[in-house]
Structure 1
Amino acid sequence: MIPNVWNRMVQERWDMDLFYLPKRVRNKGKEPVPFETMDVDRFGESKVISKYIQTLQDYVWWISLQIKQTYDLIHCHHPLVALAFKHCYPQIPVILTIHSSYETELMLNDQITRSGPEKEFLTSIYREVEKKVEVITTVSHSFKRYLSQFVMNPERIRVIYNGFDQTIFRPSEHKNGVPQLVSLSRLVPAKGIDVLIRACAELKRRGKNFVLHVIGDGMAREELHQLCKQLNVQEETIFYGYVLHPHEFMSFFDIFVLPSRAEAFGSVFAEAALSGLACVGTQVGGIAEQIVHGETGLLVPVDDAIALSDALQKLIDDEEYRQKLANAGREYALKHFSLDRVVKEYGELYRSVLEGNKTRQSN
């Protein structure tokens, strides 16, 4: 989404650079970055916390090395990036958009505990960025409620939904003899693909015909392969691994399904809806703000394979209902998640922050 927003704003005569922080930078930063709202030493020794702090130092090193000019405004899309830029350029106003919860995914993937120091540190970062940046935005009202637990002034957090270039998603008329289900995500426990496989095993037990296409890769891939074999759905399931541009062929499937255990927004649902697919998701986070149950898609409880199989069966059995939901879901996505809308809202935010900064400088 971010390169598309950047490209559109440049077309609208914003003088804007797009800056990436590469993953290959490791252990280069040596300059300590002070925290104003917490004592990092109190969290003790932790590989996760040490890696997070080292990454922040690496970002400061990379920014100092690469950026040779000044800016009127900086918009960051990760808390560490915002802290790094604010450290390097304390006088420049910074907007931060928080897209997801790193700590939630680590907990769901059993990499940290709910009561451990890592969660406390990671959630304390939200208070630190609130202290330092001018504006925080996030991608759903649900995720704003989550963030509100950890900041002093939650009413200042703005919600700006993600936006997508509708021109790259092209629904196509097609007739699949067997309903084609597709799921697109990283293969990690947080995404609930194991629940989807169990739901598909139930569909097979009921005598339903389908093919499940799983696009993506990750730490749980081998485990999911084994689960398909255990539940006897390996013949119905195709694992693709990582695919560079899945939107190019998404419209040839019939049903998009992703039973996530947590999702701040869930961009793949908007992308699937724009591609003309009927969508099935869980009643969590931003998914429930994209799908109006029974009108633009179907929602099921988290970790409920039977409820998921029931929802999928409705769409498999009733092609007319499936198409009705797909059409309504696409119209909803076009109205609420367009690139035009997010560019307009970001533009208004930029002007507001720039004007406020001018006023402060003149006083």
Structure 2
Amino acid sequence: MKILLATFWIIPHVGGVWNYMSQLKKVLESLGHEVDILGYGEGNKYVYIVNEFRKVERSLLLPLVNDKLNVQLEPENYADPVVKHCETERHVYELGASYLGLEKYDVIHTQDVISTVCLNRVKPIGPTLVATLHGCVAHEMRLQTNSSPTSYMCKAYFDELEHVGATSATFTIVANEWLKNILTDEFHVPNEQIKILNYGYDTANFLKKIKEKPFIQLQHPVERPVDKKTILYTGRLVELKGVHHLISSLSHLKKIRSDWVCWIVGEGEKRAELQVQSKALGVENDIFFLGKREDIPKILSNTDIFVLPSLIENQSLSVIEAQITGKAVIVSDAGGLPEMVEHGVTGLISPVGDVMSLCNNLESLIKNESYRQELGSNAKKWGMVHWSLEAGVKKVVEVYELALSIKGGVGNSEN
């Protein structure tokens, strides 16, 4: 098969979607398929086929898009700046994808509702469309724009995008029951259209990196203190990840005990604000903001507890990495996280935003080494089986083949 993996977001980027696409491409190619990746380039300056670096510059597309939008849309449709921005960007994306050409593919596999809406509008008759949704964009936008004076307009816009995107493909793949229930109950996606498949993960390659010595040491290694337990968060520093709740919990934890440090790995718009918060709460000497790191496997192997306090979450790759490294995990009960962690067996779960519950869970793992090791060992045993990449990709290929059989078979290639 000739397959196009497509996302609306800038790629490459730090985050689970790019990691998933990269691993999926690698395994699909090992099975004999031809795979391209489509997305936005740095700063949304161009739309491109990543592996071939064939691109169409935004500067060439934008005048055509603006002319089209000025004719088609009433001024009130631009009242919300988020809606205006998204509407412009998705039309640029559509036009760029059209210029790059979609005719040769058997399967177009989109990775979000916006790229699904876009490519369904412009794809030729030949390719079949399959979508994987890595979260609910409509719910995320509600949280991010709730205080906006035009939030009602933004909500209506992204709710419609969610419905159209989730119903446009032959099959829509999700990672868990949580997202399936949202799509069927709230956005009226037919139950038979949805396939539940976990992502799969290249566990062997991740664990191999723990032992590898880098050819060139690009970053100074992080040394853990010998007399303290190490708590780790990795991910984007944005509101939805709930890092501010972690910092609040740590301020309470410090009143109970001081035999810990916390490493926060990642970048994002909230970094400066989070650093101010840690100073205001008196934990600036206990929390270390390490920025973007290229040695996550080694850092994770040198920690004791992994924490993900998200406000909304689908299926976190950082939790998968912590599990297969054998670490005790604490997560919030947001989204699909309770389907990844069994409380008291493979980790601990705190209610979203409950800083005292998170504090208590942290303290219980710091003071009880045997319990912490038991949870980590259970997590690794479960994770090494459940997150098999080969099994995950096999199920994706089965969805491709089923979608093609419904459409009438593979017509564009002999693979």
Does residue 1:104 correspond to 2:123, yes or no?
no
1:50 aligned partner: 84
Q: 1:205, CA displacement in angstroms?
A: 0.2
Q: Is the 8 A contact 1:126 1:151 kept in 2?
A: no
Does residue 1:169 correspond to 2:206, yes or no?
yes
SS at match of 1:256: strand
TM-score of the aligned structures, taking structure 2 as reference length = 0.79
SS at match of 2:310: coil
Does residue 1:86 correspond to 2:114, yes or no?
no
1:223-234 to structure 2, matched below 5 A, reads 223-234=273-284
Q: 1:133, CA displacement in angstroms?
A: 2.0
Distance 2:401 2:408 in 1: 11
Q: 1:294, CA displacement in angstroms?
A: 0.2
Q: 1:93, CA displacement in angstroms?
A: 1.1
Distance 2:288 2:166 in 1: 44
Instruction: After the TM superposition, list the runs of 4 or more consecutive aligned residues in structure 1 that deviate by more than 6 angstroms.
Output: 39-42, 171-175
1:274-328 CA-partner distances (Å, limit 9, x unpaired): 1221100011111111000000000011111111011011110011111111111
Q: Which residue among 137, 142, 163 is the counterpart of 1:127?
A: 163
Unaligned runs of 5+ in 2: 1-19, 47-57, 212-223
Does residue 1:67 correspond to 2:90, yes or no?
no
SS at match of 1:82: helix
Distance 1:188 1:4 in 2: 25
SS at match of 1:19: strand
Shift in CA distance, 89/16, structure 1 to aligned 2, threshold 3 Å:
same
1:3 aligned partner: 22
Could you tell me which amino acid in structure 2 is paired with residue 101 of structure 1? C
1:24 aligned partner: 45
Distance 1:107 1:132 in 2: 22
1:223-278 CA-partner distances (Å, limit 9, x unpaired): 11111111111111100122245234321111100111111222211111112211
Q: Which residue among 191, 195, 220 is the counterpart of 1:158?
A: 195
1:341 aligned partner: 391
1:334-354 CA-partner distances (Å, limit 9, x unpaired): 222221121111011111111
Shift in CA distance, 147/209, structure 1 to aligned 2, threshold 3 Å:
same
1:177-216 to structure 2, matched below 5 A, reads 177-216=227-266
Q: 1:96, CA displacement in angstroms?
A: 0.8
Could you tell me which amino acid in structure 2 is paired with residue 186 of structure 1? R
SS at match of 1:20: strand
Q: Is the 8 A contact 2:183 2:189 kept in 1?
A: no
The worse-fitting range, judged by mean Cα deviation, of 287-296 and 104-113 is 104-113
Shift in CA distance, 31/229, structure 1 to aligned 2, threshold 3 Å:
closer
Q: Is the 8 A contact 1:169 1:248 kept in 2?
A: no
Does residue 1:297 correspond to 2:334, yes or no?
no
Q: 1:112, CA displacement in angstroms?
A: 5.5
Q: Is the 8 A contact 1:257 1:281 kept in 2?
A: yes
The worse-fitting range, judged by mean Cα deviation, of 254-263 and 150-159 is 150-159
2:374 aligned partner: 324
Distance 2:386 2:364 in 1: 26
Distance 1:145 1:115 in 2: 24
Distance 2:189 2:245 in 1: 37
Distance 1:257 1:131 in 2: 34
1:27-68 CA-partner distances (Å, limit 9, x unpaired): 624359x9xxxx998856221111111111111222123237
Shift in CA distance, 93/163, structure 1 to aligned 2, threshold 3 Å:
same
Greater strand percent: which structure?
Answer: 2
| Aligned-pair Cα RMSD in Å | 2.7
